[in-house]
Amino acid sequence: MSKSDCIVFHDAAVRRGERIIWQHGTFSIPSGSVTAIVGTNGTGKTTMMKAELGLLPLAAGSLTVLGKPAGSMNHQIGYVPQSYASDIDSNLTAEQSVLLGLTGTRFGIHMITKAQRAKAREAMEFTGIADKAKYRLSELSGGLRQRVAIAQALVCDPKLLMLDEPLANLDLASQRSTVHVLAKLNQELGMTIQVVAHDLNMLLPILTGAVYLLDGHPHYADMGKVLDSDLLTHLYGTQVQVVTTPQGDMFVTPTPDEPRNQTQDMHSADEVAQMHHHVHASTNSDR
Amino acid sequence: MNTIDFSFDPEWMDTLTAPFMANAFAAGLFIALAAGVMGYFTIARHSTFAAHALAHIGLPGATGAVLLGVPVSLGMGAFALGGALVIGALGKRVSEREIATGTVLAFATGLGLFFARLSSSASQQMQSILFGSILTITTDQIIGFAVFDALLLVLLAVIYRPLLFSSLDEQVAQAKGVPIGLMNVAFMAIMAGVITIAVPAVGTLLIFALVITPAATANILAGSPFKAMVIASVLCLTSIWLGLVLSAMFPAPPSFIIVTLSTLFWAIAKGVNTLKTR
């Protein structure tokens, strides 16, 4: 494990009851990277994020985040969970919500200080919602609420930002502005960013690598290796092509129809997890 | 009396200055403080139905206490607290499970009726447990309310922010190290106490309008949690005190007027807000 690694998995496994979600995870994610956790539904993407936060115990192996065992550095991690419908009827103002990221864990009586308000304002300015500070969450669009949540995660100056499906249920313009905020965080503040995503296209311009959950095993690869039609086809369980436009933009796209001579892999992830075991020569072999 | 008589009572000032009225006003103050603060948390946690159910879970405790000859509040409090700890230990998600909560609510109400039928004095008190009797609150009860409010404020001074964080943003709070299980149990236990002191005023059936409705109105009016709690307490207090004055002027049950005022405030706020945002 090198010093520049932000998250290090070593033979890690997670199970729920008798079911193995994934196992034999051995890889490391470098600091300053923007990675996506990709995989089909039910392969354990959110589970992986929860394990990294120390909220789910490992069934085997070890998991180190920011140099310490998972869960012990959470004060330096900004976490944006998948947004649920409950936000929609929240009467809290954007500013109040962001301030909770700064004051919410403290026991005892504490008045909110000017410095804390300034800090919250700075975070809101960064995500471009400073003018919405006094609006209630219920009055904001999904995209703006997402940026409030990111500002709340930013306000405590995290080194690592984790977002669970930040682009789900957002329209195209909101997806683009969210990606823009993430790019700015990574480039200007050098923040390591990890995103759970099922659609890679929007994120492609900023991703440096991806963790892909395949056959019940997590793997990490730099972006160039992930963008391979065969791998993505295997990963999503449906025919996928990588298309490069004349401008150099890449797209991941499903092919119009399934080829006749190919059978689809219909095993569920946890079944496949039992079938084989990759031997990893070295943690950092592919870099 | 077969006809409804809503005629104005010219001796209403005499009624208001009677000693039992002083107790009623004091009770109103303590109830409003506790209900306003906890009502906000209840809504933030999406636990309003669980709070409503706690009052009904307390019902067999209350009628059972009459049966055994111990104070009604004691039986009520013990059952509400027991129910609260079970719901709290099962986690926040469970308190949102309306079917389980509703089933227990119905069963507890039935059990309350059964206990009430076992003795004639419990039968007589059934009405005041269900619909409240703020005019019969004793000085001992007032002292109990005051002690509860003091404990509530001390406890909240310690857990206010983590409780707020876990109520509004449970997943992030958990990731940041807030003990959400403990917060949930603490919330439910405090709620049991609030229900126990509010039931003598409006009864188990009408308690929603006194504990939840003012907080819902305050949520429409204010965006900051602290402001909303203060406004909820003021609205709750206004409902109770104005309700007492009006029930002295016009012969109607105080519970009815209190609940009507609380509902009216909410309806006005909701209506104005709807017009504004259209």
Q: State whether the Cα torsion A221-A222-A223-A224 is positive or negative.
A: negative
Interface of A with B (CB under 8 A): 53, 55, 74-75, 77, 79-81, 86, 90-93, 96-97, 100-101, 103-110, 134, 136, 139, 152-153
Across the interface, of B46, B178, B224, the residue whose CB is closest to A105 is B178
Chain B partners of A133 at a C-beta cutoff of 8 Å?
Answer: none
Number of other residues whose CB lies within 10 A of the CB of residue A3: 6
Q: Are B127 and B112 in contact (CB under 8 A)?
A: no
Confidence at residue B255, expressed as pLDDT on a 0 to 100 scale: 92
Closest CA to A34 of A188, A148, A160: A160
Question: How close does chain A come to B228, measured CA to CA in Å?
Answer: 10
Confidence at residue A267, expressed as pLDDT on a 0 to 100 scale: 56
Contact B161 A106 (CB under 8 A): yes
Closest CA to A199 of A21, A22, A35, A39: A39
List, edge to edge, every strand of the sheet that includes A68-69.
Answer: A19-30, A5-16, A60-65, A68-69
Who contacts B134 (Cβ-Cβ below 8 Å, separation ≥6)? B24, B27, B28, B200, B201, B202, B240, B244, B254, B255, B258
C-alpha span between A136 and B228 (Å, rounded): 13
Who contacts B104 (Cβ-Cβ below 8 Å, separation ≥6)? B53, B57, B83
Mean per-residue pLDDT, B26-54: 92
Torsion of CA B41, B47, B51, B57, to 10 degrees: -150
Contact B173 A105 (CB under 8 A): yes
C-alpha span between B221 and B217 (Å, rounded): 7
**Tokens 């207090």 belong to residue:** B237
pTM metric for this prediction = 0.85
Interface A-B: count of C-beta contacts within 8 A:
75
Question: Confidence class of residue B5 from pLDDT cuts 50, 70 and 90?
Answer: low
Q: Are A48 and A32 in contact (CB under 8 A)?
A: no
Across the interface, of A55, A107, A134, the residue whose CB is closest to B162 is A107
Confidence at residue B104, expressed as pLDDT on a 0 to 100 scale: 84
Confidence at residue B105, expressed as pLDDT on a 0 to 100 scale: 86
Contact B164 A100 (CB under 8 A): yes
Across the interface, of A55, A105, A136, the residue whose CB is closest to B165 is A105
Q: State whether the Cα torsion A134-A137-A143-A147 is positive or negative.
A: positive
Mean per-residue pLDDT, B206-215: 92
Chain A partners of B157 at a C-beta cutoff of 8 Å?
Answer: 108-109
Chain A partners of B224 at a C-beta cutoff of 8 Å?
Answer: 92-93, 96
- What is the helix (H) or strand (E) element at residue B126, kind and residue range? helix B120-131
pLDDT (tens digit, 9 = 90+) per residue, B153-168? 999 999 999 999 999 8
C-alpha span between A201 and A214 (Å, rounded): 19
Tokens, residue A237 = 């369980």
Taking the alpha carbons at both ends of chain B, their separation in whole angstroms is 48
Q: Are A283 and A10 in contact (CB under 8 A)?
A: yes
Beta strand A160-164 pairing with A77-80: parallel
- ipTM for the predicted complex comes to 0.83
Q: Which residue of A has its CA nearest to B179?
A: A105
Contact A74 B159 (CB under 8 A): no
**Tokens 């067999």 belong to residue:** B60
* Residue A235 vs residues A206, A219, B194: alpha-carbon distances, Å: 21, 11, 54
Q: Are A220 and A27 in contact (CB under 8 A)?
A: yes
Confidence at residue B96, expressed as pLDDT on a 0 to 100 scale: 55
C-alpha span between B155 and A32 (Å, rounded): 42
Beta strand A217-222 pairing with A209-214: antiparallel
Confidence at residue B223, expressed as pLDDT on a 0 to 100 scale: 83
Beta strand A209-214 pairing with A34-38: parallel
Strand, helix or coil at A240?
Answer: strand
- What is the helix (H) or strand (E) element at residue A65, kind and residue range? strand A60-65
Question: Confidence class of residue B127 from pLDDT cuts 50, 70 and 90?
Answer: confident
Q: Give the helix, strand, coil percentages of chain A, each rounded to 5.
A: 35, 25, 40
Tokens, residue B207 = 């308690």
Tell me which fold the domain A5-275 belongs to.
Rossmann fold (3.40.50)
Tokens, residue A141 = 């669009």
C-alpha span between B133 and B79 (Å, rounded): 20
Confidence at residue B236, expressed as pLDDT on a 0 to 100 scale: 96
Strand, helix or coil at A232?
Answer: helix
Confidence at residue A285, expressed as pLDDT on a 0 to 100 scale: 40
C-alpha span between A35 and A33 (Å, rounded): 6
Domains in chain B, CATH or no CATH each: 12-269 (1.10.3470.10)
Tokens, residue A152 = 């709340």
Q: State whether the Cα torsion B210-B269-B230-A91 is positive or negative.
A: positive
- Between A92 and B238, the higher pLDDT residue: B238
- Mean pLDDT, chain B, as a whole number? 89
Closest CA to A144 of A83, A191, A207: A83
Who contacts B55 (Cβ-Cβ below 8 Å, separation ≥6)? B80, B195, B199, B204, B205, B207
Contact B178 A104 (CB under 8 A): yes
Across the interface, of A75, A81, A104, the residue whose CB is closest to B162 is A104
* Residue B124 vs residues A160, B114, B116, B117: alpha-carbon distances, Å: 64, 13, 8, 10
pLDDT in tens, chain A (287 residues): 456 889 999 999 998 888 888 899 899 999 999 999 988 788 888 899 999 999 999 999 999 999 999 888 999 999 999 875 456 667 889 999 999 999 988 898 888 899 999 999 999 999 999 999 999 988 888 889 989 999 999 999 999 999 999 888 888 888 899 999 999 999 999 999 999 987 788 888 899 998 988 888 888 888 877 777 777 777 776 777 776 666 656 666 776 665 555 555 555 555 555 555 555 444 444 43
Confidence at residue B85, expressed as pLDDT on a 0 to 100 scale: 87
Confidence at residue A251, expressed as pLDDT on a 0 to 100 scale: 65
Mean per-residue pLDDT, B207-222: 93
